[in-house]
Amino acid sequence: MVNRDDIAKSALETLPITVAVIDHDGEILLTNEAWREFGPGEPDDHVGTDYLATATVEDEHARRAVEGLEDVLDGRRETFAMEYPCHTPDRKQWFLMRANRFRVDGDVRVSIVHLEITERKLAEIDAAESADRLREQRRALEHVLDRVDGLIRDVTDAAVGAGTRDEIERRVCRRLVDTDPYCLAWIGRLDVTSGRIAPSEWAGRDDVPLEDDGLLLGSDERHPAVRAVETDEATVVQNVEAVAEASRWWPVGVDTAVESVAAVPIRYNDVTYGVLVVFADEVDAFDDRELLVLESLAGTIATAMNAIETRRMLTSEGVVELEVAIEDSSLFLTAIASELDASVTFRGQTYDGDGTPLVFLHVDRSAGVVEAVTDLERIADVTTISSSDDGTLLELTLDDGVVTALADHGAVLRRFDTDATVADVALELPSSQSARSVYDLLDDRFDRVELRSYRETERPTETPQDLAARLESSVTDRQLMALRKAYFAGYFAWPRPVSGEELAESMDISRSTFHQHLRAAQRKLLDELFDGDPTSEG
């Protein structure tokens, strides 16, 4: 017959937990294999040892264990359990101790089990730390949201409420440095003639003037402001100590420690007004969330500047005259001049009924013009308006949108001539920002663009553009096209190089219809000149 005590003892040996049994006096009566092999040194069953006496009195966890075991031995409680650390130099570990009171033949016995719970404890600690981190992140986020909300509101109020661009820049910079961790903010403007960024307004915690370091576009300058303007994207340096030349990004004599910097272009549509540069006294101050706020602020600033610039343009008589030379064989004028070995002069531009731009060019050559031009890239269609010994007047439908792009920027073409290598372009623009935008447009599109002249001047109170705008609002599209075609073709010169029948054919209408459109447009033009009634029928 199988002995149950033998089975129990054998089973006890296989358990992966440390087990011991003590008597009423605390003497160890029995241990299992896991108990004997636990701990450093040779295996020891500790049988006959006073278990309670082995506890270290100075150890808080040992005192708790002894008190709990005494309660169980004396019958004040049937069970006792506690968790305790038992770290080694190599690893951290935790155990669960559990004591249960029972009797054998009337004698009190207590089983003591030690179960390792390290994995569970580490998971609990990690969960608690994660909860703490989440609470801290939530508190930080609430703080950031409060700060950001106030910052965006104040900067928006400052930008929208300002009456001039200078006032916008001054208010914005002062408000930014009132916000931790920002310690300096400045706004730089672009000089179209020199290609430099010049600080126009700044504010900082220390009253030290900001030096104009002459940040040059197109150089090997690594300043974040230069890179932000050249790439049209925000540029961040999270640790300025890692950049050798960063010491000169900061005013000399300022005691505040500069740790990071962000530069954000101030851009409205495709017009760049400048760059916003913000310094912080913390490393890694400009994370994605912070950068998104600055980009939003830069957009608000640009919108406010555009509104002020628009108001100024409507009331000011100022105009920017810009002259550039373009050397690029892909420019349609240069390609035509090179193919024909002739000089090409831009006469003007209009639009057909579908809004497709039509460009009028004069080529000082008569033979083989259309055939040569038709085969060129970027030329969708070619029509000869007139031809004489002096040259050929062409009407082109272009795939190249440079002329349209210039018009979209508010540019008025005053000259656009070329030989086989260099195109000479003269433009009038409403502001220095639009001039810079146009220059950047040309510089990005063509191989070589040279700035030959830049001048800000006063335009007359009544401009041809004003007259043209009123005329365009009073005539039909076909009337305006007839008038422009006649003018660009030299129809009003004497002797006429082109007939009304030829112009009518170019518009795919009859000669009588062409003259009807032309005379109606002429009368409305004269009405504008002599204060007539441009709304009268005809």
Contact residues for 457 (Cβ-Cβ < 8 A; gap 6+):
318, 319, 320, 321
Residue type, 319: V
Reported as half-sphere exposure (CB side, CA atoms, 13 A), residue 265 has a value of: 17
Specify whether the CB–CB gap between 349 and 359 falls below 8 A: yes
pLDDT given at position 536: 42
Q: How far apart are CA 336 and CA 396, in angstroms?
A: 11
Residues shown for the chain: 538
First CA to last CA distance, the chain = 129
pLDDT given at position 535: 39
What crossing angle do the helices spanning 165-177 and 288-315 adopt, rounded to 10°?
160
Helix (H, G, I), strand (E, B) or coil at 235: strand
Structure tokens at 62: 């040992």
pLDDT given at position 500: 86
Specify whether the CB–CB gap between 325 and 424 falls below 8 A: yes
pLDDT given at position 75: 92
Phi and psi (nearest 5°) for 161? Answer: -80, -10
pLDDT given at position 109: 92
Share of the chain above pLDDT 70, in %: 84
Q: How far apart are CA 155 and CA 44, in angstroms?
A: 76
pLDDT given at position 256: 62
Contact residues for 123 (Cβ-Cβ < 8 A; gap 6+):
none
Residue closest to 333 by CA, chosen among 383, 403, 384, 387: 403
Predicted TM-score (pTM) of the model is 0.50
Specify whether the CB–CB gap between 429 and 438 falls below 8 A: yes
Residues of the chain with pLDDT under 50: 533-538
Token pair 């640009």: residue:
302
Q: How far apart are CA 504 and CA 518, in angstroms?
A: 10
| Residue pLDDT, tens place only, 358-411 | 888 888 888 888 888 887 777 788 888 888 888 888 888 877 677 777 777 778
- Strand order of the sheet with strand 448-458? 379-388, 391-398, 357-363, 344-351, 412-418, 422-429, 318-327, 448-458
Specify whether the CB–CB gap between 324 and 452 falls below 8 A: yes
For the chain, domains (ranges, CATH) are: 4-116 (3.30.450.20), 146-315 (3.30.450.40), 317-459 (no CATH), 462-538 (1.10.10)
Q: Which residues pair with 27 in a beta bridge?
A: 50
